[in-house]
Amino acid sequence: MREIIFDTETTGLDPATGDRLVEIGCIEMVNRVATGRTFHEYFNPQRDMPMEAERVHGLSIAFLSDKPLFADKAEALLEFLGDSPLVAHNAQFDFGFLNHELAQCGLPGVGDERMVDTLVLARRRHPGAKHTLDALCSRYGVDRSHRTLHGALLDAELLAQVYVELTGGRQIGLQLAVDNTVEGPAAQTRFAPKIGEYRAPRPHAASAEELARHAAFLEKLDSPLWKS
């Protein structure tokens, strides 16, 4: 099963008020293993960068000024995404910006039926705990020491590791039961145990002939300790 884990960086929180997408990072996974294929682009938002947003991801307008527009890379992005499920943390946010940018280009958006939200998965699996990407990395032992600022591709790489753990870990095939708390495309990655035909226990008691051969063998031993 092919899945795309992705993350975005933006100028703010709401595309409806003029905020734009400035970075996207995508990781391809097949059967929950990263293939090494990625898609990563920075975009010129054609507007200013609020200081609050720059503090989060470190992307200045000076850095982004010579980067392509989203429209210049939209077709290549859609080709990479294909029709695969899209995994993101707080996916409503990322889908909102992605679909807003696609609409600005006159392209169809990505349907919510393809959405796999790891924030929802984390809340179901660990109710009452912290569910930030940093907190989940700590919970599952994912090394984030090189993450000093948010970055779309780096965060997608971390999320890919967290997603594997959230959906059963690398040893998913050793589970003894199905986890029915996971829904949507992610549920297709769950292990479903097969129930085979009943087999009666194999007889394991020694036969009379075997007991006789054993007794004959013992008679050949010279003063065995267990007979003293």
Sign of the dihedral through C-alpha 210, 211, 213, 218:
positive
Amino acid at 126: H
> What does the CA dihedral 200, 204, 208, 212 come to, rounded to 10 degrees?
160
**Per the residue annotation, which of 57, 100, 131, 150 is the catalytic one?**
150
- Side-by-side strand order, sheet with 2-10: 33-42, 21-30, 2-10, 86-88, 115-117
* Tokens (6 digits) for 78: 């859609």
CB atoms within 10 A of CB 190: 16
Amino acid at 162: V
Q: Pick from 120, 115, 121: which is nearest to 166 by CA? A: 121
| Cβ within 8 Å of residue 143, ≥6 positions away | 137
Amino acid at 6: F
Amino acid at 65: S
Q: Are 102 and 74 in contact (CB under 8 A)?
A: yes
150 carries an active-site annotation: yes
What residues are labeled active site? 150
